Amino acid sequence: MSAIPGSETKRSPPGAGAISGKVDPVIRTISWSDMVAAVRQGASDFRRAPQLGLLTGGICAAGGIAVVLFLTRLGVPYLAYPMATGFALFAPLLATGHYVVSRDLAATGHAPSLSAIWREMIGRSEVRWMAFVTVFILLIWMYQVRILLAVLLGSLGFTVSLADFVNTVVSTNNGLAFLAIGHIVGAIMASILFSVTVVSFPLILDRDVDIMTAMITSVSAVAQNPVPMLGFAALIVASLVAGMVPFFLGLIIVVPVFGHATWHLYRRVIEPLPVA
């Protein structure tokens, strides 16, 4: 990709590339229009190569329905909301395969096979490490929800029906505190995970970089472009929530579109390597 007219560039913090012994990725300064363009390109890639997107989106939708039914059967349907909220934390890992598709569409005009995508994902140790980071943060999120339920709502949060639980949460001081603290903690964790992964996953699949260089570059890219990058994060969260409303069916579209869009945002915020 050629340089974006009027954009500024900046290298990752000194030492990022030194960890891997390679050239530091160069970070561009992007605008809101770049974010919008990335989403449009993501939708275009999904239309051009829908197979993986329909698969991952379908799995997400079916998984969401299965989780709600399972929790209802266990008598704890109120856990469906924090589980659904935690889904946003898992999104970067789910989107990894779409980065491979968008990369190959741009390079060759053809999408790779599902088996080729899988081989590339599991064949890179850095991707496996990033998957570990993602799952670890998701587990922390679920654990802190349980702690908040126990501390603020006591045994009530684990024994009542969904209707009674909702009434307790919205009509008591402890319930409102549960909502406020839970959402604040969730927003902080989601912001951290987004900052660490939004560029690192695509960068790992695009170049031979180590996990520390990838994460440092990702955080630096968000810090240099807070408005468009955090705006992109907010758009992802809002779209995921909207996609969950109609029995999770909207995820069939939301997950692949934003998976592809993340790749295109990465290509706009990170300067391509010079052609040898």
pLDDT of residue 36: 96
In angstroms, what CA-CA distances link 19 with 14, 49, 217?
Answer: 10, 36, 12
Helix ranges restricted to H, 152-270: 156-159, 162-171, 173-197, 200-206, 211-224, 226-244, 251-269
Contact between 45 and 267 (Cβ < 8 Å) = no
- Per-residue pLDDT, averaged over 59-64, amounts to 90
In a domain, 29, yes or no: yes
pLDDT tens profile 97-135: 999 999 999 999 999 999 999 998 888 888 888 888 888
pLDDT over 70 (residue 276): no
How many distinct structural domains can be found in the chain? 1
Band (pLDDT 50/70/90 cuts) for residue 246 is confident
pTM of this structure? 0.86
By C-alpha distance, which of 22, 13, 97, 5 is closest to 55?
Answer: 97
User: Can you give the pLDDT at residue 14?
Assistant: 44
Q: Distance between CA atoms of 116 and 100, rounded to whole angstroms? A: 9
Residue 1 resides in a domain: no
Asked if residue 80 belongs to a domain, the reply is yes
Q: 37-64 as b/e, with b when 16 or more CB fall inside 10 Å?
A: bbbebbbbbbeebbebbeebbeebbeeb
Q: Over range 153-181, report the average pLDDT.
A: 78
- Say if 162 falls within a structural domain: yes
13, part of any domain = no
Is residue 15 situated within a structural domain?
no
Residue 5 lies in a domain: no
CA dihedral 50, 230, 8, 20 (to 10 degrees): -80
**pLDDT in the model for residue 167:** 84
- CA gap 270, 272 in Å, rounded: 6
Number of C-beta neighbours around residue 2 at 10 A: 5
Quick check: helix, strand or coil at residue 157? helix
The domain in which residue 80 lies consists of 24-269
110 lies in some domain? yes
